[in-house]
Amino acid sequence: MKKSRISVKWKTFFIFLVFAIVLLGVLWFFQIVYLDDFYKIIKRQETEVVLKDVENILYTSENPDDDIEKIAASNNLGIYITDKNGVPLYNAEYISNSQMSSLPQFMFGLFYDQAVANGGEAVIEFKGSEMQKKVERARYAFENIGDNPAEQGENGTDTTEESDNDNLDDADDTAGGDENDEAQSQEEAVPEKPAGKIAYTIPEEKREEGFRQNIGNDMAESVIYVRIIENNGLEEVIMVNSVLTPVDATVSTLKVQLRFISAIMIVIAFVLAATLSKSLSHSIIRINEGAKKLADGDYSVKFNSRDYMEVAELSDTLNYTATELGKTDSFQKELIANVSHDLRTPLTMIKGYAEVMRDIPGENTPENVQVIIDETERLTGLVNDMLDISKLKAGTITIQPEEYNITESIRHVLERYNKLREVEGYTIDFQYDDEVIVYADEQKMYQVLYNLVNNAINYTGPDKKVTVIQKVIDDTLRIEVKDTGDGVKQEDIPYVWDRYYKDKTAHKRAISGTGLGLSIVKNVLELHGAKYGVSSKQGQGATFWFELSLDLNEE
């Protein structure tokens, strides 16, 4: 597996830094590259909303002038409302290149006809002073049409002498008297022309002012939304003019602003990345250093990192691991010391008796030979127990259960201690009511009983008394083995079944057995699914017990 050479500190640092740079790149991309497109979309949506608001105002407001002014000012739009003949009703233009109020009558007619043909709405887009140029070209074309009523305007709409003159006449009738000054000013701007021509001329001062306003804005895109509505039985035309392209000054300001923001963000990202990477990696680095010490065998190391929940949980897990490894190491060293002692004693006795029998005439007696045989059996039992523990832990030993009389099996176990009773004065009592049949592995359970009795003999009190009790509770057989020794300390009870455990203060050469039986007992009982345990009070001996089910249908 390829090993990464980048530490978590620097990797975290670069991740935060790259994230900040990518974020700034996205900001530049959308704010500068696609600024025009976003601006157009937003302005179109705003204009459509304003168009609906103006329509509602015309329907509901008794004095719509102020409301229309506010809407136009707050949205930076031009709002121009006329009747169907182009006579102005309301005018609020808040953009510099708006030319709706200066549209000639024939251009208004083109917009109106386009809206009628499109179901009452039309959208006219143009760039910068393009509208002014269109007006000039259209005016020139209309002035040179002559008497041909079939000529078409620039936008492809049929314009005839009669329709245009009718529109002008209607505009004059509608704006009669002093009721509409704008209509009068428009009327004054139309000098008499020969028949068949549209009479319209933009005042010189207005044209010059429009050209000045369009200097530098020739590329600015604008749109005029036209909507025809019916209000109190009369047709009214709403025109809303909006600039779709942000002015160059706005773009330049955004670029300068983004440069400053980018510089500040990079500095902040650098500091934040350095701080966070150091904070995130500090605990992991400390845990890593502690883990190295733990791997070297220093089980006293403590993991105290509490910066984050996961790190705190990892620290607790490693602390628990260090504690358990320390105990295991201690138990293993004790086992080596105890087993070494138990192995050395029989080997020494075998060697000593053999040398005596070789070197001293007349010492080759049956008694000396029996000592060598007994010590050899003890040594063999110790080695076999160690092998059994290893096999049980590895899971290579399986049980072969069958029905048998466990009461009889207990009696056979106790018969092996008859010599110990006679020579050493031990008392072993067996208390039971009836013979009991169980379904278990007879050989393995015999080993369990033998090891429990051995353990009781090795640790019983000065009275040398051991009691074995067999009793049946409901459908459960319970076997108890009691001694009268010092008992097991409460803090040591969880470890008495451990394969490395042996009481330091009570270790002595086993009178019978190897001293490793409890770990074998635990593993065999677990293979049978039996419950087991130990109860003890300091100075009052210990009782080791296990329970087997008497339901012969269960395996």
Q: Which residues contact 435 (CB under 8 A, 6 or more apart)?
A: 405, 407, 408
Domains and CATH numbers, the chain: 77-244 (no CATH), 297-394 (1.10.287.130), 398-549 (3.30.565.10)
Is residue 520 very low, low, confident or very high in pLDDT (cuts 50, 70, 90)? confident
CA distances from 430 to 342, 443, 476, 505 (A): 30, 20, 19, 29
Yes or no: say if 149 and 155 are a contact pair by the CB < 8 Å rule. no
Is residue 404 very low, low, confident or very high in pLDDT (cuts 50, 70, 90)? very high
Yes or no: say if 407 and 437 are a contact pair by the CB < 8 Å rule. no
Highest-pLDDT range among 105-119, 209-223, 411-425: 105-119
Q: Where are the extended beta strands (E) located within 371-464?
A: 402-405, 427-431, 437-440
The edge-to-edge listing of strands for the beta sheet with 427-431 is 427-431, 465-473, 476-483, 542-549, 531-536
The edge-to-edge listing of strands for the beta sheet with 78-83 is 88-93, 78-83, 234-243, 221-231, 121-127
Token representation of residue 83: 């009747």
Question: Which has more confidence, 164 or 489?
Answer: 489
How many CB atoms within 10 Å of residue 395?
Answer: 9
Q: Which residues contact 296 (CB under 8 A, 6 or more apart)?
A: none
Burial 189-217 (b: 16+ CB within 10 A, else e): ebeeeeebbbbbebeeeeeeebeebbeeb
C-alpha of 456 from chain center: 56
Name the percent of the chain lying above pLDDT 90. 13
Yes or no: say if 85 and 167 are a contact pair by the CB < 8 Å rule. yes
Does residue 477 surpass a pLDDT of 70? Answer: yes
Concatenating the DSSP letter of every residue in 508-525 gives: ---SSS-S-HHHHHHHHH
- pLDDT tens for residues 137-192? 665 655 555 444 434 443 434 443 343 434 434 433 433 334 344 434 444 443 34
Q: Which residues contact 130 (CB under 8 A, 6 or more apart)?
A: none
Token representation of residue 489: 């300390």
Does residue 432 surpass a pLDDT of 50? Answer: yes
Does residue 509 surpass a pLDDT of 60? Answer: no
Side-chain-side CA neighbours of residue 523 (13 Å): 22
Distance CA 87, CA 173 (A): 10
The runs of H, that is alpha helices, within 33-80 are 35-60, 64-75
CA distances from 167 to 89, 150, 256, 518, 530 (A): 16, 17, 52, 117, 109
Q: What angle do CA 287, 288, 292 make, to 5 degrees?
A: 115
According to DSSP, residue 31 is labeled: I
Name the least confident of 136-140, 458-462, 516-520: 136-140
Q: What angle do CA 324, 482, 538 make, to 5 degrees?
A: 55
Yes or no: say if 38 and 46 are a contact pair by the CB < 8 Å rule. no
The runs of H, that is alpha helices, within 61-203 are 64-75, 105-117, 130-143, 161-174, 181-188
Concatenating the DSSP letter of every residue in 168-187 gives: HHHHHHHT-TTS-HHHHHHH
- Between strands 427-431 and 465-473, the pairing is parallel
Question: Which has more confidence, 446 or 160?
Answer: 446
- Mean pLDDT of all residues belonging to the chain: 75
Does residue 301 surpass a pLDDT of 80? Answer: yes
Does residue 64 surpass a pLDDT of 50? Answer: yes
CA distances from 61 to 66, 80, 252, 313, 330 (A): 10, 17, 41, 68, 94
Distance CA 345, CA 217 (A): 110
Query: What pTM was computed for the model?
Result: 0.43
Does residue 531 surpass a pLDDT of 90? Answer: yes
DSSP lists the bridge partners of residue 124 as 224
